[in-house]
Amino acid sequence: TITETAGIGAFAMAAAPAIVTFVSGTPKDAINATLEMYEITVAEHKAFTIPQLDFRGTPVGIDLRAVVETGITPRVNTGIAHKEAGVGQIGAGLVRPPLAIFEDALVAFAEEYGY
């Protein structure tokens, strides 16, 4: 999703241990989730840094080739807001899109740009 591509959301879970406990994880899970996302991104955000990782920038810029090569798909945070304003969030979760969509995208990219 857009937030993860920009280096926030699930890619910054190490900076939000309270969020990961909301979806039945642990602070260590949050750190591991962020560390894994560095394997499939091309840069680190200069402004969004994570104290628990010695102020390393959040992973940013999903590398399509790295996703396909490693088989690691991006983590995505989900949230459900209540239909009535002011009630707040009523649910949340973590998902991963299927690897096949990245494989298809890589083929389409190669066909379009000749790589």
Give the per-residue pLDDT at 86. 86
pLDDT, tens digit, 9 for 90 and up, residues 66-86: 999 999 999 998 888 888 888
Nearest CA to 69 out of 38, 109, 99, 26 is that of 99
Domains along the chain with CATH numbers: 2-113 (3.90.1700.10)
Of residues 80 and 10, the one with the higher pLDDT is 10
Give the per-residue pLDDT at 50. 97
The mean pLDDT value for 23-38 works out to 93
pLDDT at 105 over 90: yes
Of residues 3 and 89, the one with the higher pLDDT is 3
* In contact, 32 and 26? CB cutoff 8 Å: no
pLDDT at 1 over 70: no
- Is the pTM above the cut of 0.95? no
Helix H, strand E, coil C: the string for 70-90 is: HCCCCCEEEEEECCCCCCCEE
β-sheet bridge partners, residue 93 = 78
* In contact, 82 and 91? CB cutoff 8 Å: no
